[in-house]
Amino acid sequence: MKARAAAAALLIAATYGPSAYADPDDYVALPGVEYGERELELRFGTATKSGEDRASAASLAFGYGLTPWWATEVYAKYNRSGSEATRFDAIEWENKFEIGEPGQYFVDMGFLVELEWANDRAEGYELRIGPLFQKDFGLVQTNFNFLLERHFRSDEHEVTELGYQWQVKYRWRPEFEFGLQGFGDVGKWNDWDPHDVQTHTVGPAIFGKFPLGGQQVFKYNAAVLFKASSAAADRTLRAQLEYEF
Amino acid sequence: MTVRLLVAAYALLGVTAVLAAGEPEFAITLRDRQFTPAEIRIPAGVKVKLVVDNQDAGPEEFDSHALNREKVIPGKTKATIFIGPLAPGRYPFIGEFNATTARGEVVAQ
């Protein structure tokens, strides 16, 4: 059964081109923007799947809150497969637009636009867009994003694929919050893959922030994700560290 | 199926987001790195609008873990912060850039 699922996933990847599956270092984007804030960010993720090489990814980024409603960030992305050397993967330009003020509407909303230039020209360009939602219930914060992703000028057949991210966390203390995170991809946006070739992961996550004085803040979040569908990685460890100043 | 339901539910939340209007408004002034008043009493169970007037030259960040709000307010500008509806209780906030002096509490009652 696993072999059939893996074969089907490979067939779909070969048929539809570069995968929209989330990178191991992907994170749950939040709708809020912090005006005037600069940040240095490090993301890291590593995923293991039975019978396959370990897939790892890391990103270094600089971000800035350009306006009260627009934050932009540029990433240098790296990846590594198995025992191969770490290689430069892509440059990504992320833009986040906050819609309204937090708490103004029934749900807090934002919109994400990411453009990625792959180092491997055969992968072309990648555009990822989608709405970001947040709803608080007292000390419980929930987020859900759905994101459309498409490659352009790639050597493979280009389709628009649908992915999602979510998290639920209990905001216990500023230094330590805990909850669950999940990521997934369902395939072509209007013609979803069979469930056994979709990728869904879910697992526990921790979050926190430490003021360093003045405008300096250190933030972290990390999760261990387990597969919730047979095509997903067995285990993914992901982390995001941010230094705001 | 679960994923479809989640997507549909959140899409519905987004589509049905209703414009807020007519919330009670409370003014807070930040001057010399201190909030005035330092204690703001608001009705419990009601969404309210805090209008924070930063009269200092430098920026400040209104920060409250209890309220789940972070908002940078440039110097000599005002910012609007929506909070609530809140259960009765005390909800501390700080000016994160001057956390030793800029402190206050929202009291929902």
Confidence of residue B5 (pLDDT cuts 50, 70, 90): low
**B37: closest CA of chain A, how far (Å):** 22
Confidence of residue B9 (pLDDT cuts 50, 70, 90): low
pLDDT for residue A196 is more than 80: yes
List the single best residue of A147, A215, A245 to mutate versus B (max B Cβ within 10 A).
A215
Confidence of residue A22 (pLDDT cuts 50, 70, 90): confident
- Who contacts A7 (Cβ-Cβ below 8 Å, separation ≥6)? none
Higher local confidence (pLDDT), A29 or A20: A29
pLDDT for residue A194 is more than 80: yes
Higher local confidence (pLDDT), A21 or B95: B95
Using a CB-CB cut-off of 8 Å, the residues of chain A touching B17 are: 105-107, 109
This prediction has a pTM of 0.86
pLDDT at A35: 94
**B80: closest CA of chain A, how far (Å):** 8
Instruction: List pLDDT tens digits, range B10-38.
Output: 555 555 444 445 899 999 999 999 999 99
Instruction: List pLDDT tens digits, range A204-244.
Output: 999 999 999 888 999 999 999 999 999 999 999 999 999 99
Instruction: Inform me whether the C-beta atom of residue A171 falls under 8 Å from chain B C-beta atoms.
Output: yes
Using a CB-CB cut-off of 8 Å, the residues of chain B touching A35 are: 72, 74
Judged by CB atoms closer than 8 Å, whether chains meet at A135 and B65 is answered as: no
pLDDT at B22: 82
Instruction: Inform me whether the C-beta atom of residue A216 falls under 8 Å from chain B C-beta atoms.
Output: no
Judged by CB atoms closer than 8 Å, whether chains meet at A184 and B72 is answered as: no
Residues 89-118 of A with CB under 8 A from B: 101-107, 109
pLDDT at A122: 84
Using a CB-CB cut-off of 8 Å, the residues of chain B touching A134 are: none
Percent of chain A clearing pLDDT 70 (strictly above):
91
Instruction: List pLDDT tens digits, range B59-73.
Output: 999 999 999 999 999
pLDDT at A198: 96
Instruction: List pLDDT tens digits, range A41-79.
Output: 999 999 999 999 999 999 999 999 999 999 999 999 999
Identify the H or E element spanning A83: none
- Who contacts A64 (Cβ-Cβ below 8 Å, separation ≥6)? A37, A38, A39, A71, A72, A73
pLDDT at A157: 77
Judged by CB atoms closer than 8 Å, whether chains meet at A164 and B6 is answered as: yes
List A231's β-bridge partners, or say none: none
Identify the H or E element spanning B100: none
ipTM score assigned to the predicted complex: 0.81
Average pLDDT score, chain A: 91
Which of these, B10, B13, B2, lies nearest to A186 by C-alpha position?
A: B2
List the single best residue of A101, A133, A140, A245 to mutate versus B (max B Cβ within 10 A).
A101
Instruction: Inform me whether the C-beta atom of residue B59 falls under 8 Å from chain A C-beta atoms.
Output: yes
Using a CB-CB cut-off of 8 Å, the residues of chain B touching A109 are: 14, 17
How far apart (Å, rounded) are the C-alpha atoms in residues B64 and B103? 10
Confidence of residue B7 (pLDDT cuts 50, 70, 90): low
Judged by CB atoms closer than 8 Å, whether chains meet at A133 and B65 is answered as: no
Instruction: List pLDDT tens digits, range A102-124.
Output: 999 999 999 999 999 999 888 88
Instruction: List pLDDT tens digits, range A121-166.
Output: 888 899 999 999 999 999 999 999 999 999 998 887 789 999 999 9
Instruction: Inform me whether the C-beta atom of residue B2 falls under 8 Å from chain A C-beta atoms.
Output: no
Instruction: Inform me whether the C-beta atom of residue A82 falls under 8 Å from chain B C-beta atoms.
Output: no
How far apart (Å, rounded) are the C-alpha atoms in residues B72 and A35? 6
Average pLDDT score, chain B: 88
The amino acid occupying position A44 is: F
3-state SS assignment for residue A128 = strand
